[in-house]
Amino acid sequence: MKHIMIIILLLGLALLYAQNAPYYPTTTLIENFGASWCAACEFAQMGLDTIESQINPGEVIFTRLLTESGQHSSAEVDSRFELYEVLGFPAVIFNGKIRVNGSDEPVMDGSLYREALNQFRYLGSPLKMNWEEINHTDGIYTLNVAMLHDEIVVEDGMVYLYLVEDNLGEGLTRIVHYVSSQAISIAGAGSTALFDFDITPDPAWDLSNLWAVAFVQLPSNTILQAISSEPQSGNQIRVAAPFDLNMRTEDTGAFFSPNFYVYNIGEASILNTSVQVHSAPDDWYVNYCDLQGMCYPGSMIFSHNMSPNQAKAFDLNISAGSEGTGVFDFVIESDDAPSYRIPFTLRVGNVSNVDPLMVPATLSIQNTWPNPFKQGLSFQIQNAKAGSSSKITIFNTRGQKVDELPLQNLKEGINQVSWNATDLPSGVYFYRLDGNLQSGKLLKVQ
């Protein structure tokens, strides 16, 4: 009887912890903006199809919004174009924050999309969303939003509802037909808010191909969490790592990462965890611990019994005997779900930029969009090291400088910088990035 009581107590603690985990895995919303007549938009769709084949089910929601496309467009959909100031097609926006424009080769092969997605793929959200009711026939959609974190406050946000239809012919699918929104403000762990959307179905919609998307968006356009009514696989491994996976510390010795949360979405399962070290100094030892005080050598595989929809928290425990860089994956495997890898990097001490494991601090302009342009355009800048600064100088055909765009404290990855050329006459212009590093031609039209 004593053993039974201990088991019951441990199960109760595990379930209590799962309920109190302060972060839930972020589901990324991808909004693909274009038009049915936009030939270049098909290249964007090719790139998105590529990254969809490379991720686990349930991690990402793909939607497509069309303007000036007859029955596939609406004033509510056009309002999303206006919110993001989308002027050229295609434009693909990730979680309301990162925009990838154009249809060149890095778009077609999915590499730019993959890099944008990776900035959200492992994040944790303080919000969890659940459907209470979905009735396409009667147009009733009820959604519950729960706050998990005790110190995060969501103010002046909006809960959006998309109605999306698949298989419309001519290669069109995942088309957003309808957009509705309601205000949300929520704070305090355990707080919940219920949202009812009552929509009159359009007779032109094929209800058998209809599904719903809901998401919470802040005034800054950041999307905190999203949920879809599409059927989900029975079991998924999901992760909430609410910190930068590229970690750094000045001192050798023991390093402890913030907590990250591994979720077993679905039925009860056994998850096997380990750490695969790709490269690290010989005197480094990579281990990890859980919140119950158990620590595990990273090179060995350990099993964890996970209840349905349970979360288990871990932190990395790395002993760094010398300065250097370590690159490794936290690996989670299960017989019931696809495996999952979290890529971590740790840099210890004053690691030189010539270290072959360090990312070089280089900038490059990946794309300009739209080009030709009428009033202004965006430079898509690839940055390999956070904090980099530079400038873009604009010249006319006589070689005279007409404008200069300072680039300050750029983030690692993809950056978007807008250039307003309203006051300049039509014609050909040239840009140059940081001296003679990179240049190109721009065309302004009336």
The per-residue pLDDT for 437 is 53
Secondary structure letter of residue 186 according to DSSP? E
The per-residue pLDDT for 359 is 38
Please tell me which residue, 16 or 146, carries the higher pLDDT value. Answer: 146
Whether cis (ω within 30° of 0) applies to the bond prior to 90 is yes
The per-residue pLDDT for 353 is 41
Whether 370 has a pLDDT exceeding 60, the answer reads yes
Across residues 69-94, what is the average pLDDT?
94
Residue 381 banded pLDDT, cuts 50, 70, 90 = confident
Domain 24-228 shares a fold with domain 236-348: yes
pLDDT tens readout for residues 191-204? 999 999 999 999 99
Phi, psi of 27, rounded to the nearest 5 degrees: -95, 120
Residue 57 banded pLDDT, cuts 50, 70, 90 = confident
Which CATH fold would you assign to the domain 363-444? Immunoglobulin-like (2.60.40)
Please tell me which residue, 367 or 323, carries the higher pLDDT value. Answer: 323
Whether 129 has a pLDDT exceeding 90, the answer reads yes
The per-residue pLDDT for 440 is 73
| CB neighbour list of residue 228: distance below 8 Å, 6 or more residues apart | 27, 61, 211, 212, 213
Whether 9 has a pLDDT exceeding 50, the answer reads no
Please tell me which residue, 331 or 12, carries the higher pLDDT value. Answer: 331
Whether 163 has a pLDDT exceeding 90, the answer reads yes
| CB neighbour list of residue 53: distance below 8 Å, 6 or more residues apart | none
Whether 385 has a pLDDT exceeding 90, the answer reads no
Residue 188 banded pLDDT, cuts 50, 70, 90 = very high
What are the boundaries of each domain within the chain? 24-228, 236-348, 363-444
The per-residue pLDDT for 12 is 40
Beta bridge partners of 273: 302, 332
Whether 358 has a pLDDT exceeding 50, the answer reads no
pLDDT tens readout for residues 417-443? 889 998 899 888 878 787 545 667 788
The per-residue pLDDT for 11 is 39
Give the least confident one: 63-77, 111-125, 314-328, 389-403.
389-403
The per-residue pLDDT for 169 is 86
pLDDT over 70 for what percent of the chain? 91
pLDDT tens readout for residues 245-303? 999 999 999 999 999 999 999 888 999 999 999 999 999 999 999 988 899 999 899 99
Tell which residue, 428, 431, 339, 437, has the closest CA to residue 383. 437
The DSSP result for 238-277, as a single string, is: EEE--S-SEEEESS-EEEEPPPEEEEEESS-EEEEEEEEE
Most confident listed range (85-89, 184-188, 292-296, 405-409): 184-188
pTM for the predicted model, two decimal places: 0.77
The per-residue pLDDT for 356 is 37
Q: Which CATH superfamily is domain 236-348 in?
A: Immunoglobulins (2.60.40.10)
Across residues 202-227, what is the average pLDDT?
96
Across residues 173-200, what is the average pLDDT?
97
The per-residue pLDDT for 336 is 83
Overall size of the chain counted in residues: 446
pLDDT over 90 for what percent of the chain? 61
| CB neighbour list of residue 6: distance below 8 Å, 6 or more residues apart | none
pLDDT tens readout for residues 20-44? 789 999 999 999 999 999 988 999 9
Across residues 112-139, what is the average pLDDT?
94
Residue 131 banded pLDDT, cuts 50, 70, 90 = very high
Please tell me which residue, 429 or 156, carries the higher pLDDT value. Answer: 156
Q: Does domain 24-228 have CATH number 2.60.40.10?
A: yes
Beta bridge partners of 127: 147
The residue written with tokens 């467009």 in the block is: 73
Please tell me which residue, 227 or 446, carries the higher pLDDT value. Answer: 227
> By the 8 A CB rule, do 237 and 339 touch?
yes
pLDDT tens readout for residues 393-419? 888 766 678 898 988 888 888 888 889
The per-residue pLDDT for 6 is 34
Give the least confident one: 155-159, 321-325, 389-393, 432-436.
432-436
Tell which residue, 379, 441, 445, has the closest CA to residue 416. 379
Q: Which amino acid is at 124?
A: G
Mean pLDDT over the full length of the chain? 87
CA distances from 374 to 182, 245, 388, 428 (A): 35, 40, 30, 12
User: How many other C-beta atoms are found inside a 10 Å radius of the C-beta of residue 288?
Assistant: 22
CA distance 84 to 422: 19
Residue 180 banded pLDDT, cuts 50, 70, 90 = very high
Q: By three-state DSSP, how is residue 63 classified?
A: strand
